[in-house]
Amino acid sequence: MTSAGTQNAHSHRPKSRPAPDGERRLLLISYHFPPSHEVGARRWQQLAKLAAEAGWALDVVTLDPGDLAACDETALAELPASVRVYGVPDRPLPLDRLVRAAVSWRRRLLTRSRTGERLVPHAPSPGRPPSIGVTELRSPFHSARDALRAFHAWRAHVRSRTWARRAAEVAHQLLRAAHYRSVITCGPPHMVHEAGRMLRRRTGVPLIVDMRDPWSLTPRIQEEIASPLLLQWARRHERRVVEAAALIVANTKQSRRAMQVAYPSARERVIAILNGYDDEPVPPSQHGRCFVIGYAGSIYLDRDPRPLFRAVAATISERGVGPDQLCLEFMGVEAGAHAALLATAAEERIGAYVVVHPARPHADALRFLARATMLVSLPLVSRAPDTDTSIPAKIYDYIRFDAWLLALANPGSATALLLQEIGADVVPPHDVDAIAAAIRARYDAYASGARPKRPRLPERLSRRAQAHRLFEEIERRLPAPRHESPR
């Protein structure tokens, strides 16, 4: 198999081979990895390059490219030659086919008007929130909707567990064929960590757990699967994984603290490694006549665009500007949320000022960001500051451009603390007057000839500095390599 290529795990049976003298190889299990262009693939796509610089080789067990809706072959080709990628298919459960057929039949009924004309497909159900706080979860016996959520939570759990077990079997073959210093699991989906725990038990190879987002400590769950059963499963699996891990990696200091409080016996094994900003060149910023407010990424869970829309509407009204002078552009919004976003803009009377682009590979997203005058991070719905422990990955791309940064974030949240440090405009997430004031100030400056500049970025916030610390920690915490025959 070619280095940095992909191979279907079903046809791949690695032969036993000794590790070259001095080779330091890690085995990563991550559902998201190139050629996927999901944002979850980005963390280890970049860490793989920095691992090679630090003298680490990497084998990756990930989702088979044949199961991806779209592939980013450029990202795959840019991986170092020391990276080998093994794909594991994610096959639907037999029950999934029946569920999809039922959903499709119901959608056809709901998306036709009385005259038989099709309406916008995949529009969210009116009044149904995109996510539910964990304190609001209700028993499956509370209502028919809660029972349905429990059913979908069970399906999601079983499917995730099934793929994780398949990935664990492929990883076990690799572990039998070669020496690895450690197995690293990266989630979500978080059941990959359970795969790592099983491998630790079967082979004794140390386990490193990398959590891009909280698992059982998540403050909100997607509405469709928002059941207390999902939280119970997460807590049970997470507890066992934490006990087995040599190192647990959170991606913010706030997430690290939350894990240390939840698992005090593991306190010294929990560290924070931020995503960090990349030092690769980005497209030069292009500022024209129009003041472009940009947002890149999905609008998931509880990201709420309404406060931003209302602030923009107030600015438009007060300054009397047209769509050629000020506009809002989104890239990466899911197909199901596309129509809802435009409908919300129309409700706030700024429909003509909003443009929505589909998801594109990372290189295209960077070119999109280069056209923005102001880059915005959307607010969160009903989340207390002390539970807002995550920093959207897009923030680390935002700060690399000549653009003003506007964070609609709770004071004390991970995002607010990071962006305040580099001089961004950070305002309370639902204070429309404060958001409008920040936009007006930057718009007026732009109209007067001022142009935004990239903020001064501390080196310690770079991905390179964070990766250096990660691999130092791995080296320090893992036992010395043993020169013996493969298992």
Backbone dihedral region of 301: left (phi > 0), alpha (psi from -120 to 50 degrees) or beta? left
Q: What is the pLDDT of residues 130-141, one digit of tens each?
A: 788 899 999 999
Q: Which amino acid is at 37?
A: H
Q: What is the DSSP letter of 266?
A: G
- What average pLDDT does this structure show over 396-410? 94
Asked whether the predicted pLDDT for residue 14 surpasses 70, the reply is: no
H/E run at residue 154: helix 144-177
Helix (H) or strand (E) run with residue 193 in it? helix 191-203
299 vs 77 pLDDT, higher one: 77
Specify whether the backbone of 423 is left (phi greater than 0), alpha (psi in -120 to 50) or beta. left
The percent of residues in the chain predicted with pLDDT above 70, rounded, is 84
What single-letter amino acid sits at 34? Answer: P
Query: Are residues 329 and 357 in contact, defined by beta-carbon separation less than 8 angstroms?
Result: yes
pLDDT at 312: 97
User: To the nearest whole percent, how much of the chain has pLDDT over 90?
Assistant: 66
pTM listed for this prediction: 0.86
The pLDDT, as a whole number, for residue 121 is: 32
Residue with more model confidence, 330 or 359: 330
- Over residues 98-115, the mean pLDDT reads 54
List, in order of start, the domains of the chain with CATH numbers: 6-92+154-276+464-477 (3.40.50.2000), 291-457 (3.40.50.2000)
105 vs 47: which has the higher pLDDT? 47
* Whether residue 222 has pLDDT greater than 80: yes
**Which range, 23-27, 97-101, 372-376, 425-429, has the best average confidence (pLDDT)?**
372-376
Report the pLDDT value the prediction gives residue 112, as an integer from 0 to 100: 46
For residue 20, pLDDT beyond 80: no
Q: What is the Cβ-side half-sphere exposure of residue 31, based on CA atoms within 13 angstroms?
A: 24
DSSP state letter for 14: P
Task: Please state, in angstroms and rounded to a whole number, the distance separating the CA atoms of residues 62 and 32.
Answer: 6
Q: At what angle do helices 335-347 and 306-319 cross, to 10 degrees?
A: 40
**What local confidence, expressed as pLDDT, does residue 9 receive?**
47
Determine how many CB atoms are found less than 10 A away from the CB of residue 437: 16
The confidence score (pLDDT) of residue 13 equals 34
Task: Report the candidate in 36, 35, 30, 34 with the shortest Cα–Cα distance to residue 61.
Answer: 30
**Mean pLDDT of all residues in 321-335:** 90
Considering just the CA atoms, what is the radius of gyration of the chain in Å? 23
Task: Look at residues 390, 379, 376 and name the one whose alpha carbon lies nearest to residue 424.
Answer: 376
Question: What pLDDT shows up at residue 12?
Answer: 40
Residue position matching structure tokens 């991606």? 251
Q: What string of DSSP letters covers 411-426?
A: TTSHHHHHHHHTT-EE
CB 310 within 8 A of CB 345: no
Q: Give 184-197 pLDDT, tens digit per residue.
A: 999 999 999 999 99
Residue 472: per-residue pLDDT: 95
**What's the rounded Cα separation, in Å, for the pair 252 and 254?**
5
**pLDDT in the model for residue 269:** 97
pLDDT at position 380 = 60
